Structure 1
Amino acid sequence: MSLVFPPDYAPTLPPPEYSNLRLEGEQTVEFTPRGNASSPVLANITKACSFLTIILKNQNVAEDNPTYGRGSTLQGEIGLKSSASVSSVVVKLKGRLHLSVSDSGSATIPVVSETIVLWSQDSAHGALCPSILPFSITFPTTFKHGDRIRPIPPSFSEAFFQLPTISARCLYILKVSVHHGRSKMPFWKPSRSYSLHLNYRPRTRPQRPIFHMNRFLTTLKHIPEDWLEIESTMRTRRTASPDLKPISCRFFIPSVGAFGLSDTIPFHIQLSSSLASLRVLFPDHILEPTRPPSVRVFITRQTMVEVNTRKCWRTVTLIEGTVRAVAPPVDAATFMEEDDVYVDWEGEVRVEDDKVQYGGFNIGTIMIKDYIVFALTPPNLRSCPLLAHQYSQPIKLVTDVWTDDSTSHPLDI
């Protein structure tokens, strides 16, 4: 049986290098619009101590500490004031998660531990240590805790002083250690270290923009998929008059569900029930086009910390929303008592990014979740026949906002 060999193939040319700039004769077929947020001013920053100087490249000068995102690489240089007798120079990137519950103890969990030996006398074969050493070290994106792989958390610090007291923080440090030659004392190796705190802020953004409304009912009719409708009911007490009906609540927010820390989140509220029920809820405001104090929309943040199998929860209010009436004043003579009356409000709520530096996350031992809350409070909680009502809708707060004001790619020429 004769063997059949495949034909010879000529070597192919390597693919061209990619560039996001158009060459002559090329045109853009498709692109993803970019945000129009102003770019931060980047520069090299310098940190110094008595025996060395650290230069970190491409840093935002507006930040208090050097700041890095998901998978970022720390690049810079280390300058030694004196390289005589130096035996090694080591750079470590360390991250530690510290959790504490006053009645359950505390725990420290390592989330990052990266070490690079920049120079060693053993590998230099007797040469002197250079006075300037460049370095590059990359943030990992995950860490292993128990049998689970988790994303490393952002830099944060939280403390709650209600009993039991809870504290949680995650710190990242760049540590440079300079070791010197042998001493006459056999068990002592002199070394000096310098530590620098870093901010780790992994960036995220919504998957699509928020549709801001001019006329809510018009946008709901034409683009219903852009709104999430939440239905709930404000109930009456068992001893309430049979003439009082429960109040039907419809709460609308953008269906995207993820919002930037500086996004303005619009919402719409519609309440419907008998005129008698609405007059009980709003005795002084039902005929006035103002915001009833009993209608609130706000954002809360819930923090869970687990130490030694004990879980503790704390919830704080981040920001209060603004609520405005949009319906004309209700004329009691226009409606029969058995007819449903509709009352509408609209408004917005915004988390200021200078107050909240990071979004929610879950790494098992600590979980941070955000909610947009719609609340109705009767005038008198004890005597009112209507029960207080509150509904919490989970949302995701992310670091960046979506903006799409450009008609062409910013790098198109």
Structure 2
Amino acid sequence: MSLPPPSYESFDYPIPDYTSEPRANEERLVYQQIRQSRGSDTRPTGVFVSRRDDITVVINYQEEETPTPVFGRKSNIEGTLLVDAPQSVSEITVKLTGVIEAVSPSTGYLSVNIIDQAHTIFNSGDEMPSQSICPSSLPFSCPIPSTFRYDGKEYLLPPSYYVLLGEQNQAYYARCTYQFSAVIIKARSRRTAFLGRNTKHNTFLLEYSPRSRPPRPVIDLSLLATIKERPEEWRQFSYQIVPKSGKYHLDSLTCQFFLPSVGIFGIRDAIPFHVQIVGSNNGSLAKLQSVLRTDKPLFRVHFLRQVAINKNGNKSAVHFPLGEAKLSPMPPVEGALSLLGQGNQLGQKQENMNWEGKIRCELEEKLAPSFNAGIVAITAFLNRSTTGILSDWYQMHNDGEKYR
């Protein structure tokens, strides 16, 4: 039985007029560009060319004049192989290899092959190519796997990277490199057959750069402007700040730390945050404020990058600073801030101090995104610590937040 189409004439309210740009009394909260559909090809149109030992390899879909071909997750290495004097060629193979290497004081030297695959694109079927002649131009396509196995576990293929694990004069490092090779075997004449196979190679590095997109853009508004209308955009962390001794007769304080709930950020994203210290009504926070200099911050918020190496359970880790935030003081609010659904167990009218700021990676050089490849793991941490008079009187339990 078919039903008649619905009628909207009975609605008491007019249908809203949608526009792509906000009106004078409207505000755009989030803007995210629509991704291209799978049917549209947005790959670069340039080529990378490598010529060595009479072998020319042309890699398609590269940026113009790129010194190294670049590929993303689930990519294919596509191109054409050009051969000089193809009449004597008996076999052509293209190879893709990947290796993780690390040297550290506690683990020593470590090398693990994560890719080792070969694809034969021509074979004459005989050492003397009398039955099959190799063409001078051969297309090829070599898929890049997205995972590898190590120590019985499966990991995502890590990006290309190189990082020093100590001072510049120390030979401690971790790196992951990928190579593409074209190997040609040429048949020799009967007179020179005793010399063995005549093999030529064209080998060059390629860059593997998988991208991890955040599920949505980072919110570009303050916590106080959005906590009521959009609490789902934030994530709340609470920490106890306890007195170091009973000398000053102080009670414990609570630190409320708010970060965007998206959890995954781009390397160059500016990440907003909000810090609140909440005290009891007996004046502990007021006593702290009375001796506080306005030009001296109470908190330090900074980025750290950890490079961890694991060799048969023997682990070592090195930390590098990535950036530090500048905190701006905010006026007190009505009691402790809390997201919807988490409750407010700290009371409604408590002394509080507030700061907000943004933090981002300040290094100019190119950085690999966070990953865990079993042998090597790179992780970014957002750390908070007390400074100034607050660190003299109190200590905070701080484990740091992990971000990708």
TM-score range, shorter chain: 0.7 to 0.9
Pairing of 1:239-250 with structure 2 (within 5 A): 239-242=246-249, 244-250=250-256
User: Who is 2:98 aligned against?
Assistant: 95
Correspondence for 2:34? 34
Aligned to 1:264: 270
Equivalent residue runs for 1:163-178 within 5 Å: 166-178=172-184
Change in CA separation of 1:180 and 1:370 when aligned onto 2, cut-off 3 Å: same
Q: 2:209 aligns with which of 201, 205, 227?
A: 201
Are 1:344 and 2:348 matched, yes or no? no
From 321, 324, 331, the counterpart of 2:328: 324
- Work out whether 1:58 is the aligned partner of 2:64: no
1:199 partner amino acid? E
1:306 is matched with which residue: 279, 303, 310?
310
Show the 5 A alignment for 1:9-408.
34-35=34-35, 41-61=44-64, 64-122=67-125, 126-161=131-166, 166-182=172-188, 184-186=192-194, 188-214=196-222, 216-242=223-249, 244-273=250-279, 277=285, 280=288, 283-285=291-293, 288=294, 292-327=296-331, 340-351=350-361, 355-379=365-389, 384-387=392-395, 390-396=398-404
**Residue-by-residue CA offset, 1:82-107 (whole Å, 9 max, x unaligned):** 32422222110111111223343322
What residue identity is the alignment partner of 1:369? T
Q: CA deviation at 1:45?
A: 2.2
State the shift of 1:340 in Å: 4.8
Would you say the 8 A contact 2:53–2:201 is kept in 1?
Answer: no
**Counterpart code for 1:34:** I
Deviation at 1:187, TM superposition (A): 5.2
Question: Does the 8 A contact of 2:298 with 2:390 survive in 1?
Answer: no
Shift of 1:61: 3.4
Q: What is the identity, as a one-letter code, of the residue corresponding to 1:213?
A: L
What is the distance in 2 between the residues matched to 1:141 and 1:281? 54
Deviations 1:322-377 (A, max 9, x none): 32122279xxxxxxxxx953221111112368535332222222222222122211
Counterpart CA distance in 2 for 1:147 and 1:34 is 39
SS in 2 for 1:186: helix
The gaps in structure 2 that reach 5 residues or longer are: 1-31, 37-41, 334-348
Residues 373-394 of structure 1: CA distance to partner in whole angstroms, max 9, x if unpaired?
A: 222113496xx23236644111
Once the two structures are superposed, residues 120-157 of structure 1 have per-residue CA deviations (whole angstroms, 9 ceiling, x without a partner) of 22277533322212111000111222322222111111
Instruction: Give the stretch that moved more between structures: 363-372 or 196-205.
Output: 363-372
Equivalent-residue separation in structure 1 for 2:197 and 2:261 (angstroms): 61
Supply the distance in 2 between the matched residues of 1:82 and 1:261 (Cα, whole angstroms). 48
Q: CA deviation at 1:240?
A: 2.6
> Measured at CA, do residues 200 and 354 of structure 1 come closer, stay the same or move farther in structure 2, by a change above 3 Å?
farther
Percent identity (aligned): 25
2: distance between equivalents of 1:160 and 1:222?
Answer: 45
Taking the aligned partners of 2:171 and 2:292, their CA distance within structure 1 comes to 42
Larger RCO of the pair (alpha carbons < 8 Å, separation 6+): 1
The 1:40–1:143 alpha-carbon spacing in structure 2 relative to 1, beyond 3 Å, is closer
Pairs aligned (count):
346
Q: Normalising by the residue count of structure 1, what TM-score does the alignment of the two structures yield?
A: 0.75
Q: C-alpha separation between the residues in 1 aligned to 2:50 and 2:56?
A: 6
Q: Distance in 2 between matches of 1:277 and 1:391?
A: 24
Q: 1:352 to 1:201 in 2, by over 3 A?
A: farther
- TM-score by structure 2 length? 0.76
Letter in structure 2 aligned against 1:87: S
Contact 1:240 / 1:385 at 8 angstroms: preserved in 2? no
Looking at structure 2, the residues matched to 305 and 213 of structure 1 have their Cα atoms a distance apart, in angstroms, of 38
Q: CA deviation at 1:67?
A: 0.8
